Amino acid sequence: MKADFHLHSSFSGDSDTAPEQIVETGLLKGLSAVCFTEHFDADYPYDNVCFVLDTEAYLERVLELRSAYEGRIEIGFGVELGLQPHLGELYRSYVGQYPFDFVIGSTHLMDGKDPYYASFWEDCAPKDGIRRFLEITLENMKAFDDFDVYGHLDYIVRYAPLEPKRFFYGDYGDLMDEILRFLISHGKGIEVNTGGYKAGLGCPNPCPEVLRRYRELGGEIVTMGSDAHAAEYVGGFMDEARDVLRDCGFRYFTVFRGRKAGFVALD
């Protein structure tokens, strides 16, 4: 079974891809399941993009697509929440209002700023920025833990002005271990986000060292997702991600239906 559990369509503020194009590409690429995980980033501070999600319209569209593609491909209704330490209450009530299959919690903002923009790094050393990103990630999950997996744990390396562009586990092992232990003790997973390949990192997010450490500490829940915002990237680099997972000691990857984990052999 091939399944892409991190996908954005035009319901996300930073994509203009029709949801049916995502589903059609999933079929073409031989996926048995696609799970939409549209962005909802409450209190996103920039005006150039809106990450508020019209969840009612989105749910309606997913239900239409489900009946149109019944028996051909499974279509999941998920969300990627942009967490911030002060948003726990808001997201707890939001998640309870909709019949989600899958919820990703992600760190996109640090102290109200987005490290995606080069201006963020003008007065922030790369290693300090990465450390702060991980501290905030930990704060975020302590404030809100009604998610199924944490998204792209080390994705800050995509934007930090580092050469080479990679995450050195040894530089942040104390913090990363605290994050992984928190996730494992709360029954939470992580994802293999193949957007890292697309960003030129040569590996997924998080990198194999972090995946291996999650496994060593007892973690078993790992979903696979492309983080595609355009149809051409749907299902991208899934074979590479499988190899990485196997190398890191995993025998299964995870899919979610109705917020319940299902385990699929990495054959």
**Which residues in this chain contact Zn ion in the complex, by CB under 5 A?**
80, 106, 151, 227
Token pair 């995509």 in the structure block, residue = 158
**How big is the chain by its Cα radius of gyration, in Å?**
17
Nearer to Zn ion, 111 or 174 (CB): 111
Residue 198 tokens, joined: 């697309």
Nearer to Zn ion, 49 or 68 (CB): 49
Nearer to Zn ion, 36 or 249 (CB): 36
Phi–psi pair at 79, nearest 5 degrees: -150, 145
Q: Which of 231, 161, 230, 238 is nearest to 196 (CA)?
A: 238
Smallest separation (angstroms) from Zn ion to the CB of 37? 6
Is residue 45 classed exposed, middle or buried when 0-12, 13-18 and 19+ CB atoms within 10 A define those classes?
exposed
- Alpha carbon of 255 to those of 32, 127, 223, 263: distances in Å? 11, 33, 6, 6
Nearest residue to the partner Zn ion, using Cβ: 106
The strand pair at 33-40 and 3-7 is best described as parallel
Nearer to Zn ion, 75 or 149 (CB): 149
Query: Which residues pair with residue 190 across a beta bridge?
Result: 150, 222
Nearer to Zn ion, 194 or 254 (CB): 194
Residue 242 tokens, joined: 């499988």
Strand positions, DSSP E, the chain: 3-7, 33-40, 74-83, 102-107, 149-150, 189-193, 222-225, 252-257, 260-265
Nearer to Zn ion, 4 or 227 (CB): 227
